[in-house]
Chain A
Amino acid sequence: MGGFLVIDHVSKSFGSLRAVDDVCLEVGPGEAFSLLGPSGCGKTTLLRMIAGFERPDSGRILVAGQDISHLPPEQRPVNTVFQNYALFPHLSVWENIAFGLRMSGRPRDEIRGGVDRMLELVRLSEHAKKRPAQLSGGQKQRVAIARALVNRPQVLLLDEPLAALDLKLRQHMLMELNTLHEQVGTTFIYVTHDQGEAMSLSDRIAVMNAGKVEQVDGPEALYETPRSSFVATFIGDANFFTGTAVEHQHEGYVRVMVDGLGSPLVLSNGAVGSNQTLKLMVRPEKISLTLNRPPSGERVNAFPGTVEDIAYFGSHTRYRVRIGEHRVIAQLQRSRFSGGGIEPPRGADVWMSFHPDEARVVRLEDAA
Chain B
Amino acid sequence: MTSPRGVSKQWLITLPSLAWLGVFFVIPAVLIVVTAFRPPDLQGGVGSGWTTETLQVLRDPAYLPIVWRTAWLSGLTTLVCLALALPVSFQIARVGTRMRQFLLLLVVIPFLSNFLIRVFAWKSLLHPEGPLTKLLIALHLVSEDAMLLNNLGAVLLVLIYTQLPFAILPLYAAAEKFDFSLLDAARDLGAGPWRSFSKVFVPGVRRGLISAAVMVFVSSLGQYVIPQMIGGASDEMLGSKIAQRVFSDRNLPHASALAAALMLAVLVPMLIVTMWQRFGRKEAAS
Residues of A at the B interface (CB closer than 8 Å) are: 51-53, 72-74, 78-80, 82, 84, 86-90, 99-100, 103-104, 131, 134, 147-148, 151
Which of A73, A89, A134 has the most chain B CB atoms inside 10 A of its CB?
Answer: A73
Residue in contact with B181 in the complex, picked from A86, A99, A148, A151, CB distance below 8 Å: A86
Task: Write the chain B residue with the least CB distance to A80.
Answer: B188
Question: Mask for B149-188, Cβ within 8 A of A = 1, else 0?
Answer: 0000000000000000000000000000001011011111
Q: Are B189 and A147 in contact (CB under 8 A)?
A: yes
Q: Are B179 and A151 in contact (CB under 8 A)?
A: no
Q: Are B181 and A84 in contact (CB under 8 A)?
A: yes
Q: Are B184 and A73 in contact (CB under 8 A)?
A: yes
B residues contacting the other copy or chain, number (CB 8 A): 20
Q: Are B203 and A80 in contact (CB under 8 A)?
A: no
Q: Are A82 and B184 in contact (CB under 8 A)?
A: yes
Query: Given contacts A103-B195, A131-B284, are A88 and B185 in contact (CB under 8 A)?
Result: yes
Query: Given contacts A73-B184, A80-B185, A82-B181, are A90 and B203 in contact (CB under 8 A)?
Result: yes
Report the bound CA distance from A79 to B192 in whole Å: 14
A186 nearest CB across to chain B (Å):
15
Task: Write the chain A residue with the least CB distance to B204.
Answer: A90
Q: Are B185 and A74 in contact (CB under 8 A)?
A: no
Query: Given contacts A86-B182, A88-B182, A88-B200, are A99 and B189 in contact (CB under 8 A)?
Result: yes
Question: Ordered nearest first, which 6 A-B pairs have the shortest CB separation?
Answer: A103-B190, A100-B189, A86-B185, A73-B187, A90-B203, A103-B191
Instruction: Note all chain B residues with C-beta closer than 8 A to A90.
Output: 203-204, 206
A191 nearest CB across to chain B (Å):
14
Report the bound CA distance from A368 to B199 in whole Å: 51
Q: Are B188 and A73 in contact (CB under 8 A)?
A: yes
Task: Write the chain B residue with the least CB distance to A51.
Answer: B188
Q: Are A74 and B284 in contact (CB under 8 A)?
A: no
Query: Given contacts A84-B181, A90-B206, are A52 and B187 in contact (CB under 8 A)?
Result: yes
Report the bound CA distance from A78 to B185 in whole Å: 12
Query: Given contacts A89-B204, A90-B203, A103-B195, are A151 and B189 in contact (CB under 8 A)?
Result: yes
Instruction: Note all chain A residues with C-beta closer than 8 A to B186.
Output: 88, 99, 103
Q: Are B184 and A100 in contact (CB under 8 A)?
A: no
Which of A78, A87, A100, A134 has the most chain B CB atoms inside 10 A of its CB?
Answer: A100
Instruction: Note all chain B residues with C-beta closer than 8 A to A151.
Output: 189-190
Query: Given contacts A103-B195, A131-B284, are A86 and B184 in contact (CB under 8 A)?
Result: yes
B282 nearest CB across to chain A (Å):
12
Q: Are B181 and A100 in contact (CB under 8 A)?
A: no
Task: Write the chain B residue with the least CB distance to A76.
Answer: B188
Residue in contact with A104 in the complex, picked from B190, B199, B284, CB distance below 8 Å: B190
Instruction: Note all chain B residues with C-beta closer than 8 A to A134.
Output: 285
Report the bound CA distance from A345 to B117 in whole Å: 88
